Amino acid sequence: MKRAALYMRVSSLDQHPETQLLDLQQMAAQRGYEVVHQYADRISGAKARRPGLDELMRDARRGRFDVVLVWASDRIARSVKHFLEVLDELNRLGIEYISLRENIDTGGPLGRALIVIVAAIAELERSLIIERVRAGMRRAKLEGQHIGRRPLNLDREAILCDRRRGCSLGQIARTHSASRATIHRIIQAEMPANQPVSKGLEKRLS
């Protein structure tokens, strides 16, 4: 006899998961499953952290049941990505997933095939999004628009002049709205290596 875990979720406090529970208990009885755990959340499906679902996944990793029954797939996942992540982990743990409303059962060949199709669609969607982003960047580049972080327009002569006057890296960085590392690179690149440095300036080198 397979050990079954039931998961219910309702979106607000004035709703009750009992309707889902009765349907899942009936399905478990029809299939000859032993219900060993019940998990419930009263929270929006868009929330990333859900105590009931988190506990279910922890118990799944501990091998406390063989199959998860849900009333509908949108009860257990907040997005297609999240749904696939849950299914993928359950599959790796050897735990079947059954959804009453969609009639999905990953324990059978049709259910497993459906999961492969859903995963392929999700992968295609991600690829299309990436391609749209790349196409947009190519179009912007052809139109002369700048892509990425704009380079700093710094007055190198002024920076070197400030350094010769004995200003510290921190002071120069604040004056020119740049990082100390950027100022240091400019000074290292522009100041002649054999240029004498005053003792006062040496103390400020950092």
User: How confident is the model at residue 87, as a pLDDT?
Assistant: 85
On average, the pLDDT of the chain sits at 80
| Residue partners of 52: CB distance under 8 A and separation at least 6 | 7, 8, 9, 39, 40, 41
Burial class (CB in 10 A: 0-12, 13-18, 19+), 154: middle
Catalytic residue among 11, 127, 168, 179: 11
Compute the distance between CA of residue 112 and CA of residue 114 in angstroms, rounded to an integer.
5
Give the predicted TM-score (pTM) of the model: 0.55
Domain ranges of the chain: 3-107, 156-204
**What confidence score (pLDDT) does residue 202 get?**
45
pLDDT at 203: 46
pLDDT band at 60 (very low <50, low <70, confident <90, very high): very high
Q: According to CATH, what is the number of the domain 3-107?
A: 3.40.50.1390
In tens, the pLDDT along 151-198 reads 567 788 888 888 888 888 888 888 888 888 888 888 888 765 445 444
Q: What is the pLDDT of residues 76-112, one digit of tens each?
A: 876 777 887 888 889 889 999 999 988 888 887 777 7
For residue 206, indicate whether it is catalytic.
no
Residue 163: the pLDDT is 85
Tell me how far apart the alpha carbons of residues 73 and 156 are, in angstroms, rounded to a whole number.
60
Is residue 199 predicted with pLDDT exceeding 80?
no
% of the chain beyond a pLDDT of 70: 81
